[in-house]
Copies of this chain bind each other. A is one copy, B any other.
Amino acid sequence: MKKIEAIIRTSKFEAIYSCVAGLGVKFLTFYEVKGMGLEQARPQTYRGVAYEPAFIPRTKLEIVTVDALVQPVIDCILNEGATGEVGDGKIFVYDVLEAYRIRNKEQGEDAL
């Protein structure tokens, strides 16, 4: 079991979701985060003061999945999430020691 964490463009969420759903990934979690990176946030002005808001809003996606699906999921994100411009984001992969389904206390890969 691995956890795939991807920081993506919010506008790419739907495309990525369709792709991973097509692989049989039934569950995922996501939330809004802010990023600092190469991409510059769009400059804003307020009452004559130009300022750069310190961050760019992004979506973070978390999918825990069986080892066999890790590469296909990553490919989905790489293919569907890229525009080729700075700001496309990153993917990180982590090891997962254990998983449980709260509803019925199933454990391990069954719980995913």
Which residues of A come within 8 Å of B, CB atoms?
2-3, 6-8, 14, 17, 26-38, 54-55, 58, 60, 64, 74, 77-78, 81-105, 111-112
Contacts and interface: CB of A to CB of B under 8 A. Distances in A.
Given A82-B103, A102-B81, A31 B29 contact: no
12 contacts: A2-B97, A3-B94, A26-B37, A27-B35, A31-B34, A77-B102, A78-B100, A90-B112, A91-B100, A93-B96, A94-B96, A94-B97
A73 to B, nearest CB: 11
Nearest to A101: B90
Contacts of A17: 36, 54
